[in-house]
Structure 1
Amino acid sequence: MENQMQENQNKGSFFQSTTAKMMMVGLLTLVLLIPLEFVKDLISERSQRKQEVTDEVTQLWGKDVLFYGPIMQIPYKTYEEYNVTNPKTKVVTIEKKATISYAYFFPEKLNNTSNVKKNTSLKRGIYNNVVFTANMNFDGHFSKPNFEKLNINEGDLLWDKASIVVKTTNLKSIKSDLKIKLNNQAFSFESKPEDEDAIYGTLVTNTFNYKTLVNNGKIDFNFLMQYNGSNSVKFIPVGKITVVNIDSDWESPSYEGAFAANDTTKIINKKGFHADWKILDINRTFSQQYVDKIPNLNEYSFGAKLIETVNEYQQNERASKYGFLMIGLTFLVFFLIQSISKINIHIFQYTMLGLALIMFYTLLISITEHSSFAFAYLIASASVITMIVLYSISILKNKKFPTFIGLSLVALYTFIFVIIQLENYALLVGSIGLFIILGAVMYFSRKIDWGK
């Protein structure tokens, strides 16, 4: 009988020991990862919903703008020989059949000046979809075509059937009158059925006589195009000399493509950005003339991507990744207070504290969708800290420890917010912060008797 009572006493003392309590708090921390994962799924679901709305709006308004042209198109005759046998005399003669092919010539000089203005008025539900209107001014000239490189006999050329071709995405989002001036004569563009290269739409002018239009071996051109678009504006440098200038009120561009913008003239500030490119034919490896088909030169495209540097769902996702750290460190603070002060904190109370910490992330995502991330973070963290401090007063029966807990939580949430805002130095600041936290834990736990 005495042995059984002694055994029960030993069992009770183990479950009341610091080691047992630490094991239970650790297990609870792992269990709370389950609702934390549900919160992460909620953030992903809301982010996906926003992307679906954005795709729907941009499909109606206009997607990426990619411009390829202008290109001069001149048809010419090619001949195919075939044998014809006379059924009566059985004599075989050789005849020729003429077919029409096309030669394509890129401009000698191509200049573009584009002004891109953002449009923030397209709101769908709670989502603001930022798109833009691009006003593009093109000018330059074509020099005399060189048919020798293409092995074309000039006598086979149909000079009076020449035309100008432009390939571009977003045909349905062009909002300007499509006309081009060639040596001050106006010609209208018409859309052409899509070919197998489905990324582009094709615009072709009505035909003109090259020989009567050319002046001193050149054909000057200029035209305007206005697009509704989103995401990016890019060009293919078809000119022997291509000069592109982009001005925009968008404050967060990303320069992309095969060619870098000029560093000496590049400007990015709160009012927008300015970028210049000058590309010579020796900077790329394609020719200035082709036969039969205009090649796909997407790999040589360049321009500006208009990005959202601050994506509220990405920031919420990053914040949720630190959820385990927040729960673990908060429990650690309570556990140290419990061990030092000998105040008993029940596992149920730890559970309530953990759920309050997880509620921070649902508050954060819900408030962010209606305001800025910084404001939502402030409101959500202040609400959770206040709730935990008030609950701590009822648990710990004094105000000294709850005050310390409140200050600790303020420091933790501030630390996490700073890490989320940083990009290049996030790892460095995070490592230093965790090192300091580890040092503090080692200092405060140095006198705890872990054998009890």
Structure 2
Amino acid sequence: MTDLTPGKKFLRALLIGFLLSIPIFCVWLMIGDRQSQSTEARASIAQGWGGPQVIAGPELSIPFKQTVTGTEQVNGQPVSHTTTIERRLVVAPSGIDAATVLQPKHRRRSIYDVVIYRAETKGRAIFALPADLASLGVQPETLELARAELRFGVSDARGLSGNPQVRVGNAVLPLGPGGGSSLVGSGFYAPIDLTKVDPARLAVDFRFVLRGNGSLAFAPRAGDTAWKVTSTWSNPSFGGEFLPDDHHIAKTGFDAIYRIGNLALGRSLLFIEGADKTSAPERATPSAYATASETNGPQSASIQLVEPVDLYSQVNRATKYGFLFVGFTFLAYLLFDVIGGVRVATVEYLLAGAGLVLFFVLLLAFAEVIGFTPAYLVAAAAITGLNTAYSAAVLKSWRRAAVIGAILGALYAILYVLLSLEAYALLIGSLLLLAALAGTMYVTRRLDWAGARDEA
């Protein structure tokens, strides 16, 4: 049987490498499927504990009666009528000072693990009911101060733990479920009789414990909001519309301090719940006030409890370099074939390539059980040993096989560096390919790829 020319051997290796892209693509699909199963399992573990939490409030809600004049057509003639309806005046605090202690812990089921937390929040809110309510269309004498409510917003009320406490002076207020605030629809409320306190300056102390997972956010709505968070979690991610004014992160945990003024919020501290600009034509709304419909959703300061290592993301990134492993290994085989005179069969290319693809499957399987770094070491050692031993038989020399082993060992080490230094991955990978191309050009610079010299 006539030997293939070097050029045809190169095309054969290239074709086999292309065919191996199919199982590599299947590994990508497997990673996505396992990640989806992990997400579902984690959601199941956290079910009933509490989801990502957003807290807001308190706000003071005061019912009042308002007379609305309207017209309707009766027998073709416009008829005016007046209706008395109940609305609520919502007053946000002039200042709020809150502190949260975030206590994370892991909950595990089978091979899946999720981070949950308990967050204890304490604080004081100061309310000041303005004397000038007429400009908002509210007559002070219509306010039913005895039926006022303090409303606290909690996005997932299932996470409320123990007995929240709300105090005004020495009096502990009774609490009821529901209510929420203008920013967060669910939560709890405390009825309060404002006729027994000074509505011009009302100090409210509160404390509650909240269970959740993933993230904790605070939606500010006050003239001045101060929020301090401390935790033993060492990998926080600060997000939302507001970042902390100051924070410290250490191996033992973190602390963050937020200070948010009402001018940054762009919202009024006083508005009529459920009103819109056309429902009360007689009302002149000055720029100092706003209606509830003018709010565009809660702005928040958010803290996410980030896992130090997202193993599915890292395995997915590692798999993207699968072509690099196949290419370098096949290149070494090809050079031994066309220069060293060792014939490498098609099946031998396929078996060696199958071992390289198997590395990523092993990496995924072990990473779910023992973590990414130990799994990487185990999978890399197994495949390097397997392909080195097989190469000794294919290349008929342990010295040549040692070259294959050295190439694979170097590739796995470089890949780990690439995964650790994400910002420089493209640069390092490009330089590696440049070095490989230059070395191949140098070694094969006198090679007769087409076999034309032999024919001559």
Give SS of 2:129's match: coil
Counterpart position of 1:87: none
Alignment of 1:150-189 (within 5 A): 150-189=136-175
Q: 1:23 aligns with which of 5, 8, 11?
A: 11
Q: CA 1:173–1:299 in structure 2 vs 1: closer, same or farther (change >3 Å)?
A: closer
Instruction: Quote the Cα distance in structure 1 between the aligned partners of 2:238 and 2:115.
Output: 18
Q: How many residues align?
A: 427
Match of 2:194 in 1: 210
In 2, distance between residues paired with 1:388 and 1:80? 85
Q: Which residue is equivalent to 1:112?
A: 98
Mapped contact 1:360–1:384 kept (Cα < 8 A): yes
Match runs of 1:255-334 below 5 Å: 255-262=238-245, 265-293=246-274, 298-334=297-333
**Match of residue 52 from structure 1:** 40
Task: Provide the residue aligned with 1:3 in structure 2.
Answer: none
Whether the 8 Å CA contact 2:227–2:259 is kept in 1: the answer is yes
C-alpha distance in structure 2 between counterparts of 1:297 and 1:231, whole Å: 24
1:69 corresponds to:
57
Matches within 5 A, 1:43-442: 43-81=31-69, 97-120=83-106, 122-145=107-130, 146-192=132-178, 200-206=185-191, 208-214=192-198, 217-262=200-245, 265-293=246-274, 298-442=297-441
Deviation of 1:357 (Å): 0.6
1:374 and 1:440 map into 2 onto residues whose CA distance is 31
**How big is each residue's C-alpha offset from its partner over 1:373-431, in whole Å with a ceiling of 9 and x where there is no partner?**
11111111111111111111112222221111111111111111111122222222222
Cα drift, residue 211 of structure 1: 3.0
Scaled by the length of structure 1, the TM-score of the pair is: 0.89
> Aligned to 2:173, what secondary structure does the other structure show?
strand
Q: Is this contact kept in 1: 2:56–2:183, CA < 8 A?
A: no
**Measured at CA, do residues 248 and 298 of structure 1 come closer, stay the same or move farther in structure 2, by a change above 3 Å?**
farther
The residue identity in structure 1 corresponding to 2:217 is: K
CA 1:220/1:345 → structure 2, altered by over 3 Å: closer, same or farther?
Answer: same
Query: Which residue identity lines up with residue 356 of structure 1 in the other structure?
Result: G
Whole-Å separation in 2 of the counterparts to 1:31 and 1:395: 21
User: Given residue 250 of structure 1, which amino acid in structure 2 is its aligned partner?
Assistant: W
* Paired letter, 2:51: K
Q: CA deviation at 1:287?
A: 0.3
Q: Structure 2: which amino acid aligns with 1:271? A: T
Q: Per-residue CA shift, 1:139-179, capped at 9, x if unaligned?
A: 12111335234221111111211111112211011003122
Amino acid at match of 2:198: V
Q: What is the Cα-based RMSD across aligned positions, in Å?
A: 2.3
TM-superposed CA distance for 1:97, in Å, is 4.3
- Residues in 2 aligned to 1:200 and 1:237: alpha-carbon distance in whole angstroms: 14
Q: Aligned to 1:364, what secondary structure does the other structure show?
A: helix
Q: Shift in Å at residue 193 of structure 1?
A: 6.9
Change in Cα spacing, 1:444 to 1:154, as seen in structure 2 (3 Å) is: same
Q: Confirm or deny: 8 A CA contact 1:258 1:299 kept in the other structure.
A: no
Unaligned ranges ≥5, structure 1: 1-11, 84-92
Structure 2: stretches of 5+ with no match in the other structure: 72-78, 275-291, 452-456
Letter in 2 for 1:418: V
Taking the aligned partners of 2:424 and 2:116, their CA distance within structure 1 comes to 31
CA contact (8 A) 1:137 1:224 kept: yes
AA aligned opposite 1:202: G
Q: Name the SS for the 1:436 alignment partner.
A: helix
C-alpha deviations, 1:317-369, integer Å up to 9, x for none?
Answer: 11111111211111011111211111111111111101111111111111111
Residue pair 1:178, 1:188 contacting (<8 A) in 2 also: no
